[in-house]
């Protein structure tokens, strides 16, 4: 009969202390022709027990070494080492990043360590982690004025390489010149990219996209009153720090040229150090970053390198005609939740095959190998808010814990955080198995749901079955949207 211990098809099976002790007694009894078990208090039995205990520890050490080599069973530092074989590392703690609109005099330097804060009570401080310069070369908003009146002169504004001249007549005033420039820009090729208007005697040129940076060149007879650039500021603490839009308005560190600040762009969520359970889950998605399959490589690269991304889905249309979801022929669409637009677009650029177009409603310009501008596109998911009613029937042979409702609500919320864009919610598959495994005393579960794209809508009739999610949607919930009831 084969040995049932050691490395088996089911993995390692260790010998217990009692098994080792029995084998030692059997061997000695057979060799000496004496029953060595007769006196449990004998010197020999005490010696064998101590020796067997050390052998049992070696068996346990061997089992631990075996499990330490695999991501699904390793823990702590062993898990860090195991995932490195796949080129993966544990996510360390990161602060929340807020892209801040900083209005400055053109060319102002914002040094590392500059502090700003919210107008809330208590205030929350943010600081710049690196030096930055706000200039017309990478602006989001600008206020332009006339530097010198030149009768009959040409006044020129160039935006992203497109030139908009205005010829002033001999009697032109400053307001006439600025109005002429506003008309030229507003009727030109860049009219969809910029909002142009006059206010306070200045020509305001603002990007139509609050997150986009543009370049601007002015003729010598024009200058800027101020330029607004986008500068990254970080929270003092690691983890996600959520602040209401428009509340970061106060400047703590006096910086020459810095006029005002405002948080107008969604933040890039920070995180705490990745736990073992989180690392095992993310390992399954990130491992494909070395894959020859383009879509899986892009997904993994975004999850690995774009801070704040919580979920990614990838789709491809490899036909010669637009598909049912409107994707162009021979294009890919990445649906990413969280993270900065530029970082996501950069990963798409790096991993996308040549000749393949990226599709989506978010457009980002990233530099190519020669510095040429490349437009990459992707999509952000529309949230579908799901309410759950989890009805329990009790198991008479077990006791339901007193905190069952909070535990189940937390399990549902945690399970939904792992739902990817486009993933249909099947409660029996996604949720109910986890509840059975974690909460004793349950005989059966019946789950009903209600879903809506309107976060303010209250739940109506809850129905059994799956919640269908389209490719550009993502199902979300929270513990407050989970009702737990006992039916019997």
Residue-wise pLDDT for 73-108, tens only, equals 899 999 999 888 888 889 889 999 999 999 999 999
Q: How far apart are CA 168 and CA 176, in angstroms?
A: 8
Cβ-contact 73, 194 below 8 angstroms: no
User: Which one-letter DSSP state was computed for residue 425?
Assistant: B
Q: Give the model confidence (pLDDT) of 177-191 as tens digits.
A: 999 999 999 888 888
Quick check: 488 pLDDT over 70?
no
Mean pLDDT confidence for 259-273? 92
Q: How far is CA 210 from the centre of its chain?
A: 20
Quick check: 342 pLDDT over 80?
yes
pLDDT at residue number 469: 95
363-400: burial string, b at 16+ Cβ within 10 Å, e else:
ebebeeeeeeebebbbbbbebbbbbbbbbbebeeeeeb
pLDDT at residue number 2: 46
pLDDT at residue number 288: 67
Quick check: 157 pLDDT over 70?
yes
Mean pLDDT, rounded, of the chain: 91
Q: How far apart are CA 285 and CA 244, in angstroms?
A: 32
From 14-28, 99-113, 170-184, 281-295, the region with the lowest mean pLDDT: 281-295
Mean pLDDT confidence for 156-182? 89
Q: How far apart are CA 159 and CA 213, in angstroms?
A: 11
| DSSP per-residue string spanning 162-205 | EEEEEE--TT--HHHHHHHHHHHHHTSTTTTTEEEEEETTEEEE
Task: Give the residue from 464, 467, 465, 471 showing the smallest Cα distance to 452.
Answer: 467
Q: How far apart are CA 455 and CA 26, in angstroms?
A: 71
From 156-160, 253-257, 313-317, 349-353, the region with the lowest mean pLDDT: 349-353
pLDDT at residue number 361: 92
Task: Give the residue from 389, 388, 482, 486 showing the smallest Cα distance to 441.
Answer: 486
From 169-173, 304-308, 326-330, the region with the lowest mean pLDDT: 169-173
Q: Is the whole model's pTM more than 0.95, yes or no?
A: no
Mean pLDDT confidence for 6-22? 90
Q: What residue has token string 């249909």?
A: 424
Q: Give the model confidence (pLDDT) of 363-419 as tens digits.
A: 998 887 777 888 999 999 999 999 999 999 999 888 899 999 999 999 999 999 889
Q: Give the model confidence (pLDDT) of 454-467 as tens digits.
A: 988 988 899 999 99
């Amino acid at each position: 009969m084969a040995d049932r211990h050691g490395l088996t098809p089911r993995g390692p099976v260790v010998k217990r202390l009692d098994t080792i002790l029995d084998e030692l007694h059997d061997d000695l009894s057979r060799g000496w022709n004496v029953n060595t078990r007769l006196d449990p208090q004998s010197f020999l039995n005490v010696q064998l027990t101590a020796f067997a205990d050390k052998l049992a520890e070696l068996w346990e050490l061997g089992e631990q070494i075996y499990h330490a080599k695999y991501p699904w069973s390793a823990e702590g530092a062993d898990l860090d080492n195991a995932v490195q074989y796949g080129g993966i590392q544990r996510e360390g703690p990161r602060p929340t990043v807020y892209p801040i609109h900083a209005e400055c005099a053109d060319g102002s330097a914002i040094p590392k360590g500059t502090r700003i804060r919210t107008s809330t009570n208590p205030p929350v401080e943010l600081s710049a982690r690196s030096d930055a310069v706000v200039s017309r070369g990478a602006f989001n908003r600008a206020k332009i004025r006339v530097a010198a009146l030149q009768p009959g002169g040409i006044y020129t504004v160039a935006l992203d390489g497109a030139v908009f001249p205005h010829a002033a007549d001999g009697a032109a005033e400053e307001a006439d010149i600025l109005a002429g420039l506003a008309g030229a820009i507003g009727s030109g090729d860049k009219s969809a990219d910029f909002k142009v208007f006059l206010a306070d005697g200045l020509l305001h040129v603002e990007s139509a996209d609050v997150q986009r940076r543009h370049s601007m060149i002015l003729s010598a007879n024009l200058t800027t009153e101020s330029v607004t650039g986008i500068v990254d500021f970080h929270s003092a603490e690691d983890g996600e720090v959520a602040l209401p839009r428009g509340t970061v308005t106060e400047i703590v560190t006096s910086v020459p040229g810095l006029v005002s600040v405002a948080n107008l762009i969604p933040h890039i969520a920070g995180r705490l150090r990745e736990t073992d359970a989180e690392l095992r889950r993310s390992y399954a998605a990130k491992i494909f970053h070395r894959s020859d399959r383009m879509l899986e490589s892009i997904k993994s690269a975004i999850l690995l390198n774009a801070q704040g991304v919580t979920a990614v889905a990838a789709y491809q249309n490899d036909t010669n005609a637009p598909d049912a979801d409107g994707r162009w022929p021979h294009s890919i669409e990445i649906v990413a939740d969280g993270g900065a637009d530029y970082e996501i677009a950069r990963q798409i650029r790096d991993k996308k095959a040549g000749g393949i177009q990226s599709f989506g409603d978010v457009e980002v310009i990233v530099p190519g190998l020669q510095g040429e501008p490349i437009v990459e596109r992707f999509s952000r998911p529309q949230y579908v808010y799901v309410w759950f009613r989890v009805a329990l029937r009790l198991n008479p042979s077990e006791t339901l814990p007193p905190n069952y409702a909070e535990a189940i609500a937390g399990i549902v919320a945690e399970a939904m955080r792992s739902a990817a864009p486009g993933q249909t919610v099947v409660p029996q598959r996604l949720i109910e198995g986890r509840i059975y495994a974690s909460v004793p005393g349950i005989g059966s579960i019946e789950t009903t749901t209600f879903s809506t794209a309107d976060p303010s809508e209250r739940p109506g009739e809850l129905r059994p079955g799956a919640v269908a999610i389209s490719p550009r949607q993502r199902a979300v919930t929270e513990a407050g949207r989970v009702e737990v009831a006992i039916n019997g």
